[in-house]
Structure 1
Amino acid sequence: FLHKFDQRIQVRPGEVIIWQGSSGDAFYALESGQCDVLKDGRSVSKIQAGKTFGDLALVNNATRQATIRATQVCKLWLFTRNQFRDLAVKQELEQIEERIQFLQQIQLFSKLVRTSLEKIAEVMVLKSYNTGERIIKQGDAGDAFYMIVSGRAVVTQTTTFGSSAGTELARLGPGMSFGELALIEDAPRKASVTASCACKCWTVDRHSFKSLFGSMDEALNESIGVSMLQKVRILEALTDRQLQVVARCLVSKKYLEGEVIIKQGDVGDSFYLIADGEVSVQVNHIQVATLEGGSFFGEMSLLSNEKRSATVSAIKDTSCLVLSRNDFNEHLGTIEEVNEEARRRKEAASRPRGDTGSGLFMSLRRVSGSFFSASPTSSPSQSLARAKSMGNVKGTNALFSTTNAMFELSSLERVKKIGSGTFGTGFLVQHT
C-alpha cells in the first residue's frame, strides 16, 4: 500500500506533525523515529516506527483529537484524503470488472449487454456460509439469486410433509447458480440448498434487480434488442449507449399464425425485429422470402414514411420487438442527424492531435459556480467583462477561480433528445 505513493517526508525532533483541533486531511505512516501524542498539552502515549495515525482524515474532515510531535528524526509516509479516495475508486472499478467477468459465465445473464451487467455488478453482495449451513430453505419465500464463487453446496428436496431428510437433487460448485426464479416472481423455494463445505456466494436480491430493470423480461428484451439492432445496417453509426436508448423504446408485440403484420402499400412508420417465430414476405401476393427469429424487416420506415413494398404475415405464432419512427426521432433525432454526427465524430478522431480542422467549438467557462460560453479567442479581460455584465461575478479577482473546458461539437455524443422549442431542439450529450 505504501509504495503506491511518493509523498515521503522527514521531520526534526520537536516539530509538530498534527495540531490538536486542526482539520484533518491526511493519514500518516511512521517509517522510522518516534512521536509523542499530546492531549491538551499533556503527553499521553508514544507512536513507534511501523505505526500509523490520523486515519479518520481518510473518511471525513473531523478535527484532530491530539497533537503529534516528533521526539526523534522521523521519516513518514503521507496520504491525503483525495489520494486515498482515488485508490478506493480504482479498486472498486477493478472489483466491478471481476464481477462482470463472473456474471458473463452465468447462463441467466449471458445475453445481457455490458451496461446491464455493470448495473448488476454494483448491487451484488458477497456472503459466506459455513459447512452444513442452509443457504435457502424449501418452502420459504424466494427473494434472492445466488452464484457460487468458492466451495460447494448440495440441493435437496423434501416430498413428505414434516420429513427432515430430503432427496438429493444436485451438487453445485464454483460458477454455478441457483434461486433464479426469485428475480422473476415471488414464489416459494422448490428445494433447499446447503453448504457442504465453507462456501462463498454472490447474491442479487429481487428488490435491487427490479429497481434496475423492472423485470427479468425487460432486462432480457433490452439486451436482445441491442444485439439485434447492431445487425441493422442503417443503424451501424449508433454508439453502444445510443443503441441502448433505442432498445428501451422497443415494444414487444405478439402475432398469431396467419396474422398480417404489415401490408404492402400501407404507409410505414415502424420497424420490426423478430424475437421468436417465423414470417412470410410477399410481394403482389407472391411469397419471396421467409424470415425467422433474429431477422428484421421494415427498417426503411425509420428513414421516411414511404409505402410498404411488401406484405409480411406470421407463418406461426410470432413475437416481435417493434420500434416506431416517432420514438426513435423523439429520443435521438432523425437517423440522418445521427449519421451526420457520427461522421463528424469520426473525422475529428482521425485528425492529428492539436489540429482543430474546420469544426465548430463550444467553450465553457465556469466563474463563481456559473457557466457561460466564451469564444476561444476571447482575452481574460474580455471574458471577465462579459461575465460581469451577466451578473455572474463580483470583484476583479474572480477570474482566478475559473476553469475552462473547450469541446469540439463533433466530440459530443448525442445521448437523448430533451425537447424542442421555438429556437430549436435540445439534446443531452456526452463528451467522448
Structure 2
Amino acid sequence: SHLGSSRHWASGPGVAEKSAALLVQASLSSSMGCGASAAGASYRAHLLDGGKKGNEEANAQYFDTMKFLLKVPLLAKFPRDQHPLLAYALTQQTFKKGHVIVNQGDDGNEFFLIMVGEAAVLVDQKQVSSLKAGDHFGEAALLANEKRNATIKTTTRTEVLKLTREDFIKHGLNDLLGLANRREAVGGGGDDRKIVVKEPTPKTPEQSKLLAQALRDHQYLSGVLDEEKISALTETSWQEKVASGERVITAGDTKADYFYIVEQGSFEIRVVGGDSAEDVDVVSTVGCGCSFGELALLYLAPRAATIKALEDSLVWVIDRRTFKNALMKATEKRINSYVEVLEKVEILAQSNKTELAQALVEMHFSRDEIIIAQGQMGSTLYILWEGEVAVQK
C-alpha cells in the first residue's frame, strides 16, 4: 500500500491519525476502468455525513458489495475493472419478511439485486415465480418510466442492492450492464453508425433561457445535468423547422439519435394501443418549452412513440454524442485533479497517469479508523489525498 507521496511500506497496518481521504484503485483486472471517479463524489458526501461509525459501515458495505458482484450471473460479462464504479452506484437495503418491495402497476425507477434472502413474484396476486440470492428484478425501470409488471414480496428477511435510474444514467452504466444487450439487439449497428451533427445555431438570451430551463425541468435528465453541462448542451444545439403534419419521430425507428426541445408550435404524441401498428392512441400534445426523444441521449433503442407536428413549428436539436461528450467533460475535471496527485507518487512514475486516474475512486476514513491490518490479504492500492495516517508494525 502507498500512503503519501514519497514513502512506501511493504507491510503493516495503516491507521488514520486525522480524518483521511484516500484515492483507491481496486486491482480487479489488468486494464484500467473509466469514469469510476464520478461515483466518488456522491460516496464522499455520504461518508462525510456519517462520522467514524458511518465511514466504517460505508466502507464495509462497499467491500461486501464488491465481493458479491463477482458472484452475480447477470454481471458475468461486466468488465471487472468497472466493478468499483458499479459498487459505488449501488445502495444496500434490508427488508423484513412479508415486505412488498415493488407493487404491480406502480411506476418504477429502481433496479434490485438480491444479496441475501428470498422473494415471491406475484402477478394479479398469484405467485408465478420466486427469487433468491443473485437474482434481480426491475431492470425495465432503468430504461424507461414503465409500470411494474409484477409485485415482489419478501418471503424471508432479505438484503438487496438497489440502483436508481438516475445513477444508472449518471455513471454510464447503461453501456456496461447486461441490459446493453437489449440496446445492441435493436440499435441498428450499434454506436459506430454516423450521426449527422449540424453547426450550432446562434441564440438570443431568451432562446438560451428556454433551452436551459427545459433541460433543468426534465424528469430524467435533470438528475445528471449540472449548470455547466446544461450550458454546454444549450450552446451546441441547433434549430430546425418542422412543417405541419411532418413526423419528427416514428415509433419503432431504430435510428434514435436526437432529442428535441419545442420553441414554437405543437406536437402530437401517439403510441401503439393494440396488436396492430395501425391501432394508435393519442396520449398527449406538447408545446413551447416541452421536449421529447430523451431516451436517444442515453442509449440506442427504438423510438417508443410517433410524434407529429400539428402546425408549422420550430425545435432545437441535441444529438446523442454531444450529450455524452458534455457528461465526459465534467468528469475530466476530477480526473485531472487526480492526475496532479499521481504525479507526486514516485512508485507510479512510469505509469500512464490519466488511465490510472480514471480507475480511482474515493474513500474516506475517520480518525483512529484502521484502513488496512497487518496480515490481511491485499488487493487494493491506497494513495493519500488529504489527512494523515500512522504506520504500525
Name the TM tier (shorter chain).
0.3 to 0.5
- The TM-score with structure 1 as length reference comes to 0.32
Greater radius of gyration (CA) = 1
Q: Which fold has the larger relative contact order, with Cα–Cα distance below 8 Å and residues 6 or more apart in sequence?
A: 2
